[in-house]
């Protein structure tokens, strides 16, 4: 400690218990009763925590694991101890566990594998096929029902996350009569639900409940099936997104449209459409999200390719019966197909789901779209 004046030295000595009234006496007392900084014991961090032999053994273990973890066939010269050390590494156990999971789930659980060069190829493939986290009410309620909360109060459905299990949140609710605080606990059953990146109407998802039990969820347009349970009726919720103006929909769509296609607006149908270089049109429904826009563009490109691949050749149209599904399968857009189908039904005086002869359809409208549907119906017949 530094002292600015001699009087401060005398005051410090007297405060420490000395009776000295002079500077010399106070200095002697402070020097005799104050320990020097250099006399204090060194902290534990100043000493080595391991010996040289232990450090060499640890470094050998690190090099051994970095070289051989993930290898299918280990060299013969490795000792039994080293073999056991390699086989018991978490990366090997994780690799076996990931092989049992669906392809679109693996990337969410790759932890130890990403640190080893030999497993980088597996990690890259897993990242490429990585699915997306999905929240569904049916899975949330199922996770809540299978979780054993015991006698715990205030239990809730959990969230879709990457660490399924029991989660506890606590907060104080005031004081009890004995002076302590009331602590309130809420218990949540978290789960994991991952959907494939590219899926059609029927697909399967991976589900882990709060007890870390793995389930496979099969989803169709109207039903949902969890593991070996009976199929349940699926309630399809209406989208919560607000309706965007046309210029906002066009802006969302344009970011994902390739250069060979152009975005246009049909004033009669009041909907956006994609047009290719040959003037073919594909009408689009209302764009709500970026993911939905990507799917619409993908479906339009597939329809354009299918149209160009087909040869429109019709023989004996009076013997061909055409339905609305034929137009869908031929690559025509649903919006224009439904509009033309309503027009045909009105002219022929029909009602309901019926098939119409090709010559009647071609008499009402004879263009590439109708001929394409008739040609597809001819191959089906």
Residue 37's pLDDT is what? 47
Q: Which domains does the chain have, with CATH numbers?
A: 6-35 (no CATH), 54-128 (no CATH), 132-233 (no CATH), 246-309 (2.20.70), 317-380 (no CATH)
pLDDT at residue 241 tops 60:
no
Residue 41's pLDDT is what? 54
Highest mean pLDDT among 114-123, 125-134, 297-306, 367-376: 125-134
Confidence of residue 329 (pLDDT cuts 50, 70, 90): confident
Express each pLDDT in 143-199 by its tens digit. 888 888 877 767 888 888 888 888 888 876 666 656 666 677 888 888 889 888 877
Express each pLDDT in 42-54 by its tens digit. 555 444 566 778 8
The chain-wide mean pLDDT, for the chain, equals: 80
Residue 339's pLDDT is what? 84
pLDDT at residue 139 tops 80:
yes
Closest CA to 138 of 239, 199, 215: 215
Q: How far apart are CA 157 and CA 5, in angstroms?
A: 70
Express each pLDDT in 270-289 by its tens digit. 888 888 887 888 888 888 88
Please compute the mean of the pLDDT values over residues 134-146 and round it to a whole number.
84
Please compute the mean of the pLDDT values over residues 200-223 and round it to a whole number.
84
Express each pLDDT in 6-20 by its tens digit. 888 888 888 888 888
Percent over 90 (pLDDT), the chain = 0
């Amino acid at each position: 400690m530094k002292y600015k004046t001699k009087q401060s030295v005398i005051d410090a000595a007297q405060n420490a218990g000395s009776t000295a009234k002079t500077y010399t006496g106070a200095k002697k007392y402070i020097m005799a009763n104050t320990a020097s900084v250099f006399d204090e014991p060194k902290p534990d961090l100043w000493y080595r925590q391991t010996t040289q032999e232990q450090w060499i053994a640890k470094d050998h273990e690190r090099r051994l694991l970095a070289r051989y973890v993930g290898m299918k066939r280990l060299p013969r010269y490795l000792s039994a101890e080293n073999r056991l050390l390699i086989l018991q590494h978490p990366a090997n156990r994780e690799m076996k566990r990931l092989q049992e999971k669906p392809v679109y789930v693996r990337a969410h659980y790759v932890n130890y594998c990403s640190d080893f060069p030999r497993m980088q190829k597996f990690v890259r493939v897993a990242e490429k096929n990585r699915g997306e986290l999905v929240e569904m009410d049916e899975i949330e309620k199922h996770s809540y029902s299978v979780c054993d909360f015991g006698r715990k109060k205030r239990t809730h459905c959990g969230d879709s996350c990457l660490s399924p299990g029991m989660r506890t949140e606590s907060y104080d609710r005031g004081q009890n009569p004995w002076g302590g605080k009331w602590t309130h606990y809420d218990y949540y059953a978290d789960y994991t639900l991952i959907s494939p990146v590219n899926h059609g109407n029927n697909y399967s998802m991976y589900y882990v409940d709060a007890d870390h039990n793995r389930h496979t969820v099969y989803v169709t347009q109207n039903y949902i099936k969890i593991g070996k349970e009976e199929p349940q009726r699926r309630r399809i919720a209406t989208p919560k997104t607000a309706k965007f103006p046309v210029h906002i929909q066009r802006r969302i769509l344009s970011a994902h449209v390739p250069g060979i296609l152009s975005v246009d607006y049909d004033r009669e149908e009041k909907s956006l459409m994609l047009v290719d270089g040959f003037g073919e049109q594909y009408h689009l429904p209302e764009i709500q999200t970026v993911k939905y826009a990507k799917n619409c563009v993908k479906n339009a490109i597939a329809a354009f390719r299918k149209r160009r691949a087909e040869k429109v050749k019709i023989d004996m149209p009076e013997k061909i019966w055409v339905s609305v599904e034929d137009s869908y399968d031929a690559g025509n857009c649903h919006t224009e197909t439904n509009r033309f189908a309503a027009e045909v039904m009105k002219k022929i005086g029909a009602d309901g789901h019926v098939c119409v002869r090709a010559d009647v359809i071609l008499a009402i409208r004879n263009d590439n779209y109708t001929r394409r549907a008739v040609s597809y119906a001819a191959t089906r017949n």
